[in-house]
Structure 1
Amino acid sequence: MNVKDQVSEQEWQMRVDLAACYRMVAHYGWDDLVFTHISARIPGPEHHFLINPYGMLFEEVTASSLVKVDLHGNKVMESEFDINPAGFTIHSAVHEARDDAKCVLHLHTNAGIAVSVQEKGLLPYSQQSLFALASLSYHDYEGVALNPDEKQRLVADLGNTNFMILRNHGLLTCAETIADAFLGMFILQRSCEIQIQAQSTGVELRPIPSPILAGIRAQAEQVTRSMGGMLAWPGILRKLDRDCPDYKN
């Protein structure tokens, strides 16, 4: 089945970008075998979105292998693969509640979980942390995400933020574009890594003063030239074109 010939040009581009996002997560070692997910909403009124085929490693995901489902988890296009119901619970909740959350990225990284179990969560120890702290929320652990009732509580906790730490569980970012969601996760994950490494020194740590945090939103736009993730995304695609061009298949 040639998927490219059966979908719109916009959907195919989204498939390529989403497959690229999976490959970059694998490149950085942020994947957890087959147990986390990145989803993207397809343009149009149908509220269909793409998610990874359950059982496929992130380094294997291609544009054609992504599974198209509706908000109830039903496949709306033929696919030999199924999806993870736990992953669907989290992603569908965010997509349904937030029109601006076109892409949702959820990971179980060591550093992210290590920060999630700390009572004070992410702390302003690095320049990177300030960008996440400017739009950060928390969601308490309720067990494996299979309970539909958890959706309402997760969405309420997320509010209008773009970064979330799921206690005892992992990290989540959402954004208008795949590029922005990836950049958000890059920043959040790096912030967690720095925090854990700094704490491991055992010396007294010096947080960034709170007045600096207050002005970080305007500075974030200057740093990315108001382009957000698209400033780095073309370079990411060039890297993948060199290293593993099959992601576009």
Structure 2
Amino acid sequence: MKVDNRNDTSQEWEIRCDLAAAYRLIAHFGMDDLISTHLSARLPGKEHRFLLNPYGMMFDEITASSLVVVDPNGYIREEEKETKINNAGFTIHSAVHMSRDDAKCVMHTHTLAGMAVAAQEQGLLPLNQKSMAFYGSIAFHDYEGVALNLEERERLVDDLGDNDAMVLKHHGLLTVGRTVAEAFLNMYQLEQSCRIQLAATQGRQKVTLLSASVAAHTAAQFKYHGYNESPRPWAALKRRLDRISPGYAT
């Protein structure tokens, strides 16, 4: 019997366009790091296949058709000069996609603010409304060197647990989402939280922390209202991208 996979094809193209849009937006908001870091999205089907950026392209060059399909069970790691994708990216993204069915999209960044907070002993502080959204639900993963050891995957997913945001100590930030939009909005909010923390603590100013009860209440409000699940911000972001960088959807 012939299998009709037109729906899967349509779904894949939609995912490709959203992920390419996310790459362009990460660059637009200054969260990229030359050709380093990576965003991925799970493809439809029972397999754990996902899309990843081709190694060597800047984020503002990424298009829907340029994204690489990665099979975590069949991927053969290659020398850096020959590899089609970032090997460290494979380690991180395959770990999450293979262990979290709800994590349809995974984003990892090396931003100045994110790496600075990742080096601070206190981690992410509940200094503002944005950071309080992560109160009690942000994970931390100890640095083990460049993520080329596949054995690190188990420790990474154990540390992530069921959280949607994680600080990779001395490294950067990671977020996940049930959609590309949700993962991006989680990352944007986490990045803004880190930037605010740097601004508030520079020059050794004394900062005021709210009570644990208020921080927990605010986090519960964010979760209840599902701020990063709303389609409105993503639709608005894509309208902006259609104006300033429309080539992403090719």
TM-score (norm 1): 0.91
Whole-Å separation in 2 of the counterparts to 1:165 and 1:30: 15
Whole-Å separation in 1 of the counterparts to 2:211 and 2:14: 42
Once the two structures are superposed, the pairs formed by residues 99-118 of structure 1 within 5 Å of their partners are: 99-118=101-120
Whole-Å separation in 1 of the counterparts to 2:234 and 2:140: 27
For residue 242 of structure 1, give the secondary structure of its aligned residue in structure 2.
helix
Once the two structures are superposed, the pairs formed by residues 148-187 of structure 1 within 5 Å of their partners are: 148-187=150-189
Shift of 1:121: 0.5
**Where do 5+ consecutive residues of structure 1 fail to align?**
none
Shift of 1:202: 2.5
Q: Which residue of 2 aligns with 1:147?
A: 149
**Where do 5+ consecutive residues of structure 2 fail to align?**
1-5, 77-81
2:58 partner amino acid: L
- Moved beyond 4 Å, runs of 4+: 221-224
Cα-to-partner distance string for 1:2-58 (whole Å, 9 max, x where unaligned): xxx9x7000000000000000000001110001100000011112211000100000
* Contact 1:67–1:81, Cα closer than 8 Å, also in 2: no
**Quick one: structure 1 residues 151 and 222, their matched pair in 2 at CA, closer, same or farther if it must change by over 3 Å?**
closer
Cα-to-partner distance string for 1:150-171 (whole Å, 9 max, x where unaligned): 0111111111111100000000
Whole-Å separation in 2 of the counterparts to 1:50 and 1:120: 34
Whole-Å separation in 2 of the counterparts to 1:53 and 1:133: 34
Shift of 1:203: 2.0
Shift of 1:212: 1.2
**Quick one: structure 1 residues 27 and 139, their matched pair in 2 at CA, closer, same or farther if it must change by over 3 Å?**
same
* Contact 1:221–1:228, Cα closer than 8 Å, also in 2: no
1:186 partner amino acid: Y
Shift of 1:69: 1.0
* Contact 1:33–1:57, Cα closer than 8 Å, also in 2: yes
Once the two structures are superposed, the pairs formed by residues 1-249 of structure 1 within 5 Å of their partners are: 8-72=9-73, 74=75, 82-221=84-223, 224=226, 228-249=229-250
* Contact 2:104–2:179, Cα closer than 8 Å, also in 1: yes
1:87 partner amino acid: G
Whole-Å separation in 2 of the counterparts to 1:30 and 1:227: 18
**Quick one: structure 1 residues 71 and 55, their matched pair in 2 at CA, closer, same or farther if it must change by over 3 Å?**
same
TM-score (norm 2): 0.91
Q: Which residue of 1 aligns with 2:79?
A: none
* Contact 1:132–1:187, Cα closer than 8 Å, also in 2: no
Shift of 1:201: 3.9
Whole-Å separation in 1 of the counterparts to 2:37 and 2:74: 16
Residues matched between the structures, number: 240
Shift of 1:214: 1.7
Shift of 1:101: 0.6
* Contact 1:18–1:63, Cα closer than 8 Å, also in 2: yes
For residue 145 of structure 2, give the secondary structure of its aligned residue in structure 1.
coil
Whole-Å separation in 2 of the counterparts to 1:229 and 1:199: 32
What percent of counterpart residues are identical?
Answer: 52
* Contact 2:185–2:228, Cα closer than 8 Å, also in 1: no
